[in-house]
Structure 1
């Protein structure tokens, strides 16, 4: 007796179809990434020209392989140092940021007096600057200040080294602009952490974060929020004198801050006059719509 063949459910069929398409795509990509064999007798100029064609075609993987072949076969040739610089660029464009940093470090170590070593420093900072960008971040709007700041700190240090060592470099102006952005980002991150501490009830830790911004990130937009964080933390800890002094500084320097009213007084869920509850919360004896932890972010939008 021949067994009757069962029909696949539509969902199962779709799943198998998707798996098949994905497999074909992977096979296709793998086929495209195969490295053409470079004959042993291929000349230096030919290898370099081929690598340049890969660069112009944005085929970063093949460009890296070609440039590495060039360097290994002709380590003292006329294109060896240029190949090392272009390997940094190809890694960076291919989103291989750690490899770009390593390649830049290698170039700086081998050629500390090279006329283009400033480019290696710049690309090292740029790679660190971009290393925290993931696939979702490139397509979905995310708050950059909420991410881990390790890469931002590394990038700031690299750009600072470039500006300090090579102030006349053509890359210094862009490095300075990126340093301003990174400094603002690091300061904003501290405010986000302070807001987290408020939600956890860690008022001293929150106040310390605000003070850190005020003391270490002067002339950044986050300073005003840093003062507001300090004032709120002092209020919640019962340090009214410190709170009044901080509010006075905030009102004097940032009168338009959303936590300062027209009379220069502090506006928040918790003020020097105590907890500010809405009428529903009062009428229900605190059962409904309890006050939310204070949060500070005066950025537009």
Structure 2
């Protein structure tokens, strides 16, 4: 697990302000929105048209309830399959990600040959990707790579199913782009985990994370940091031959990496020449300005 950044006072205040505003909005919605005006005699088409009005007005709660009512009353009606598909969409837009995934699973299971089943796979991937993202993370600055990545892995798998089964689907290009983003995200997460292990003194675990990135996430921006992590981990473990191999590979493929000097030598607090301490630390016999654990993250700063 990666140590999470503690929110600042301003972020905390902003979050609680958002909570308050959202609460007021929900109170307003509950007082103004009525349940679908449906009687025992209301027909299938009327309920469907009502659901469409709610969808067009972004009233996701009432859209969900209308679509569920339509399916329960007319499970074999002409709008039943379309209602099941639109239910996924309504759940997703209403921030009910788990419900959206369940609805997509159900649609795929019941209608594997439906002409729009590719859309169900697409929505399932979108819902899985944002399942661990709450409403406030959309407004507060957070590092996506620091979060739990289990949902990102699930989303990648769903998008992969879409592009594999339906390569000509209109949703496949966007799914491929999202897969590229998710792959970069998963690789960066491994680097942040390695940094956490460096802080804990678990150098072998850190080196293994770097090697995992290099071996499994080729062509991602995190590979360069993966090699630097390997080099640093092996140096700290006293495995100089492996460290030199990692440094040579880093210098050959990423000569501009900030942990390399102009001669291709590894720059860090801990190098093959030993611990690099500043003069204040040396003069104070290690009491002041002690070396900090190495950290690797060469992403552009926001």
How far did residue 231 of structure 1 move? 0.2
What RMSD, in angstroms, separates the aligned Cα atoms of the two structures?
Answer: 1.6
Counterpart for residue 228 of structure 1: 228
Question: Structure 1 CA distance, aligned partners of 2:280 and 2:233?
Answer: 26
Counterpart for residue 13 of structure 1: none
Question: Structure 1 CA distance, aligned partners of 2:100 and 2:127?
Answer: 6
Counterpart for residue 54 of structure 2: 54
Is 1:247 the equivalent of 2:247?
A: yes
Question: Structure 2 CA distance, aligned partners of 1:278 and 1:24?
Answer: 55
Question: Structure 1 CA distance, aligned partners of 2:249 and 2:79?
Answer: 60
Matched residues, number: 282
Counterpart for residue 147 of structure 1: 147
Partner SS for 2:194: helix
The TM-score, its normalising length taken from structure 2, stands at: 0.90
CA deviation map 1:218-264 (0-9, x unaligned): 00000000000000000001011111111000001000100011000
Counterpart for residue 15 of structure 1: none
Is 1:133 the equivalent of 2:133?
A: yes
Tell me: CA distance 1:174–1:259, structure 2 relative to 1, closer, same or farther (3 Å): same
Question: Structure 1 CA distance, aligned partners of 2:140 and 2:44?
Answer: 44
Question: Structure 2 CA distance, aligned partners of 1:174 and 1:27?
Answer: 36
Counterpart for residue 123 of structure 1: 123
Gaps of 5+ in 2: 1-20
Gaps of 5+ in 1: 1-20
Runs of 4 or more consecutive aligned structure 1 residues displaced over 6 Å after TM superposition: 21-25
Higher relative contact order (CA 8 A, sep 6+): 2
How far did residue 30 of structure 1 move? 2.6
* Rg comparison, structure with higher value: 1
Is 1:168 the equivalent of 2:150?
A: no
Is the CA contact 1:33–1:61 (under 8 Å) kept in the aligned structure 2? no
Counterpart for residue 258 of structure 2: 258
Partner SS for 1:268: coil
How far did residue 24 of structure 1 move? 7.5
Is the CA contact 1:232–1:270 (under 8 Å) kept in the aligned structure 2? yes
Question: Structure 2 CA distance, aligned partners of 1:202 and 1:23?
Answer: 44
Counting only pairs closer than 5 Å after superposition, residues 197-212 of structure 1 correspond to structure 2 as 197-212=197-212
CA deviation map 1:59-106 (0-9, x unaligned): 000001111111111112111111111100000000000000000011
CA deviation map 1:144-169 (0-9, x unaligned): 00000010000000000111111111
How far did residue 133 of structure 1 move? 1.3
Is 1:277 the equivalent of 2:248?
A: no
How far did residue 26 of structure 1 move? 5.7
Is 1:88 the equivalent of 2:79?
A: no
Tell me: CA distance 1:94–1:22, structure 2 relative to 1, closer, same or farther (3 Å): closer
Counterpart for residue 294 of structure 1: 294
Question: Structure 2 CA distance, aligned partners of 1:74 and 1:270?
Answer: 69
Tell me: CA distance 1:22–1:215, structure 2 relative to 1, closer, same or farther (3 Å): closer
The TM-score, its normalising length taken from structure 1, stands at: 0.91
Partner SS for 1:48: helix
Question: Structure 2 CA distance, aligned partners of 1:207 and 1:23?
Answer: 46
Counterpart for residue 73 of structure 1: 73
